[in-house]
Amino acid sequence: MSTSIPLISSPISEPWTAWILLLLLLLAGMANVLQPGMVVNSFTTIFTKPERQYTDAPRTALGQICLQLFQLGTLGMAYYLFCFQTGDFSIARYGVILIVTGAVYATKVLMMLLVDYTFQLRKKCATIGIHYANLLCVFCCALYPILLLMHQYGATKTLQVILLLLTVFFIVLVTVKYCRAYLIKPMALVYILLFVLTVDVLPLLAAYFGTEYILSQSFVQL
């Protein structure tokens, strides 16, 4: 009589991953339908100057909600698959990761609004904000195929390196945007780098180490 051999369970091999990835794709599709040309516009403005006036894609409240949910879910899934390799899926664990990611993102937005209020740069910061939102959209769109590959082949070292390189490239693009907008004298570069470190790099690291800590706790081992 043959006996079945128990297989190691991982979040990548569980069927829930495919359903969540499909939901994220539907959210991205709805966001683009409700805001025609939004994704294309985000890609076409990657290397444009922050001060350049261009016709932005129409934004709607429901479209922005779908887009934000897509971005939050994609970032949360990336943290989950990057940090968690083995074990049964826990909806509580993934939910807490989404909450942590959302809290870090909300803190980042508040910090940028504080800088806007402090230095009275509302017009330029508003322009930077549009470019940053476009870059974040491009980053999540580029991140999604990597998640599909992780779902298909597992979180291999190669895919992890690609994910890290993509993140570094995103931070470099953000830094270039800030430099083109605010770099008046060489000394300003120091402040720009400190600003990027504070509002971009540190939140990413906080979400990463916060995710690792949460995954190690028993209260989410459900």
- What is residue 2's predicted lDDT score, i.e. its pLDDT? 46
Q: Closest Cα partner for 35 from 4, 58, 54?
A: 58
- In the chain, the number of structural domains is 1
Per-residue pLDDT reduced to its tens digit, 150-203: 878 877 888 888 988 999 999 998 888 888 877 778 888 888 888 888 888 888
Structural domain includes residue 8: no
Structural domain includes residue 196: yes
Residues 6+ apart with CB under 8 A from 214: 93, 96, 97, 100, 220
**What amino acid is encoded at 200 in this protein?**
D
Residues 6+ apart with CB under 8 A from 30: 63, 66
Q: Closest Cα partner for 192 from 68, 50, 79, 47?
A: 50
- What is residue 6's predicted lDDT score, i.e. its pLDDT? 47
Structural domain includes residue 2: no
Its domain, for residue 90, covers 16-220
Per-residue pLDDT reduced to its tens digit, 122-146: 666 667 778 888 889 999 999 999 9
- What is residue 209's predicted lDDT score, i.e. its pLDDT? 82
Structural domain includes residue 71: yes
Residues 6+ apart with CB under 8 A from 136: 71
Structural domain includes residue 3: no
pTM listed for this prediction: 0.80
Based on the number of CB atoms within 10 Å of its own CB, is 209 exposed (0-12), middle (13-18) or buried (19 or more)?
exposed
Per-residue pLDDT reduced to its tens digit, 29-77: 898 888 887 788 888 878 777 665 555 667 788 888 999 999 999 998 8
Structural domain includes residue 28: yes
Residues 6+ apart with CB under 8 A from 87: 9, 10, 11
- What is residue 143's predicted lDDT score, i.e. its pLDDT? 93
Per-residue pLDDT reduced to its tens digit, 202-212: 888 887 787 77
Structural domain includes residue 1: no
7 versus 96: which is more confidently predicted?
96
Structural domain includes residue 11: no
Per-residue pLDDT reduced to its tens digit, 81-122: 877 655 555 677 778 888 888 888 888 778 777 766 666 666
SS3 79: helix
